[in-house]
Amino acid sequence: MGDMNAPVVSFPKNAPPARIIFLSYRSIDDEPPPENPDGGYVTHLRKQLRWELNQLGVPDATVWMDRCKIQPGDIWSEVLEEELQRADLFIALLSRNYINSEWCEREISTMAARVASFEREARRQRIFRVDKHRVSDGRLHEALRNAQAIRFFEHDKEMDREEEFFYRGQVRGGNKYYDAIRMLAEAIHRRLEELGVEMGPQAKPLAIPAPAHNGRTVFVAKPARDMNVAYETLTAELTRSGYRVLPDPALELPETAEEAQSAIASGLAEAELSIHLLGERTGVRPDGLNADIVPFQLECAAAEAGGRPAFYRMIWAPKRLTSHQGEGPEPAPRDPFAVLNRFGVKLPSDQIDSDTATRFNEFVFQRLSRKTEKSAKAIYVHCAEGDRAFALQVSKQLKKAGLSPLLAPSEGTPEEREAAQRTLVEKSDHVAICWGAVSQCALLQELSEERLALWKGEQRKLALFMGPPDSGAKAEILELGLGSEIDSIHDIREPGAIEGEIVKFHSITD
């Protein structure tokens, strides 16, 4: 073995940055698995990092890696020495293999010595590290202990083990791998800017507008880890298509039973259906809960379906799981109904699919499309003069819930408005009367026999929405009703009550 003492370095203290990023790694970490000759961890990471830097406006930065890594018995490479002297930034691809390599130790020692020769402000954040898996700080070079670290693994609480985002030549952590790559690229870009590097002319990335919310909410149950990738793909597609997904895909469920139950219950109450992805695992168990999270959410959704006939569960229990790595015989196809039986009880309204993830996602959107056609019912929204602002508020919530509100006209002669109202009612499936600030007498005038006969039609439902301000008359009507012609009364005098009452109205008219 050659001389292992760190070489003497002599570099200009304020040399102009050249945008050279030195990638320090152990060659065994880039060894591809037998089934994927192109699946080297380091090579793949370098390509992804290079692409991210391009998107951030650093198209000509050099991410340098030694493709002929030094083997035991080799002498210290002059090329390696030269690149270390030129490098502005240094990334150590940290692993258990890395810390056992004398040559990797020499690379970090050389770069640390170089950084120490710079003026104080120019020393900061020259060295980064990428953690392939956890390595004890006690085994790290001092320069790596203080370096900014990006994790490419996470701890699996269910199995109590570490899971790498890239394994056997494939990205296994779903979006987490690409999020980590992005974080690393942003840290590099930020440091280059701090060093005063001239990035050169660049086109600004196109601003992609956030998808317009279509007014519909879907509950996608938090899965166990073996369904994470499918979950991330599905929730991303739903969000891009304008659906609101609950619980928030970007957040973990709370760890305590009370908070987790609250998040699940509120999400189910707002959603038109629930989606459950069933692998082999049952998921984590929040503190104080008497069930694991996957079967618990199925049970909660079953209760929601029992109290709301329009609500149903969509369940994916794939026949074949993608976690098999070719070790031993491939498992026999799973029976989706047997899988569901292990997690909970099947409901008559359940929609169960066992095809591939792609096919299941198509199935979900097909069902949602049918629901759109079914639920886009026209609702004639009427009010007395003086309550139009309240009627407009109700109309907006009806539209958000997937209905099609037709608000009574406010302009024209009385005759023209009456004719327009008749036309709108004829187009409507149901009628909503809005009572806010006007008197009880004004409301009763609107509920004349002639109008009630027009509004009710053959199968129309007639609902009364009561908003603020509060009054004794409203309290009496809420308690005693307003005649058999009114099918439902919705009390939305309190702030925040309107969404829940719209959901109730939706279920009545479904």
Q: What are the tens digits of pLDDT across the range 82-140?
A: 788 888 899 999 999 999 988 889 899 999 988 888 887 777 789 999 999 888 888 88
Does 1.10.10.10 match the CATH number of domain 376-509?
no
3-state secondary structure 405-461: EEECCCCCCHHHHHHHHHHHHHHCCEEEEEECCCCHHHHHHHCCHHHHHHHHCCCCC
Q: Any idea which fold 217-373 has?
A: Rossmann fold (3.40.50)
Residue 371's pLDDT band (cuts 50, 70, 90): low
Residue 49 burial (CB < 10 Å; 0-12/13-18/19+)?
buried
User: Would strands 161-164 and 488-491 be described as parallel, antiparallel, or unpaired?
Assistant: unpaired
Does the pLDDT at position 186 exceed 50?
yes
Q: Any idea which fold 20-194 has?
A: Rossmann fold (3.40.50)
Does the pLDDT at position 331 exceed 80?
no
Mean pLDDT value across residues 152-175: 86
Tens digits of per-residue pLDDT, 295-324? 999 999 999 999 887 899 999 999 988 644
DSSP category for residue 137: G
- Domain regions of the chain by residue span: 20-194, 217-373, 376-509
Closest CA to 298 of 264, 269, 271: 264
Does the pLDDT at position 57 exceed 90?
no
What is the percentage of the chain residues whose pLDDT exceeds 70?
Answer: 87
Does the pLDDT at position 19 exceed 70?
yes
Helix (H, G, I), strand (E, B) or coil at 200: coil
Please answer whether residues 377 and 368 qualify as being in contact, where contact means their C-beta atoms are separated by less than 8 angstroms.
no
Tens digits of per-residue pLDDT, 151-163? 999 888 888 888 8
Residue 4 burial (CB < 10 Å; 0-12/13-18/19+)?
exposed
Mean pLDDT value across residues 241-261: 92
Mean pLDDT value across residues 279-292: 91
R_g (Cα) of the chain, nearest Å: 32
- Confidence at residue 326, expressed as pLDDT on a 0 to 100 scale: 47
Question: What pTM was estimated for this model as a whole?
Answer: 0.46
Q: Which residues pair with 131 in a beta bridge?
A: 94, 151
Sheet strand arrangement including 430-435: 404-407, 378-383, 430-435, 462-466, 488-491
- Confidence at residue 5, expressed as pLDDT on a 0 to 100 scale: 42
Mean pLDDT value across residues 74-82: 62
Q: Which residues pair with 406 in a beta bridge?
A: 380
Q: What is the rounded CA–CA span in Å between residue 395 and residue 486?
A: 19
Does the pLDDT at position 196 exceed 80?
no
Q: What is the rounded CA–CA span in Å between residue 249 and residue 432?
A: 35
- Quick one: tokens of 481? 């009703």
Q: Do domains 20-194 and 376-509 have the same CATH topology?
A: yes
- Confidence at residue 405, expressed as pLDDT on a 0 to 100 scale: 93
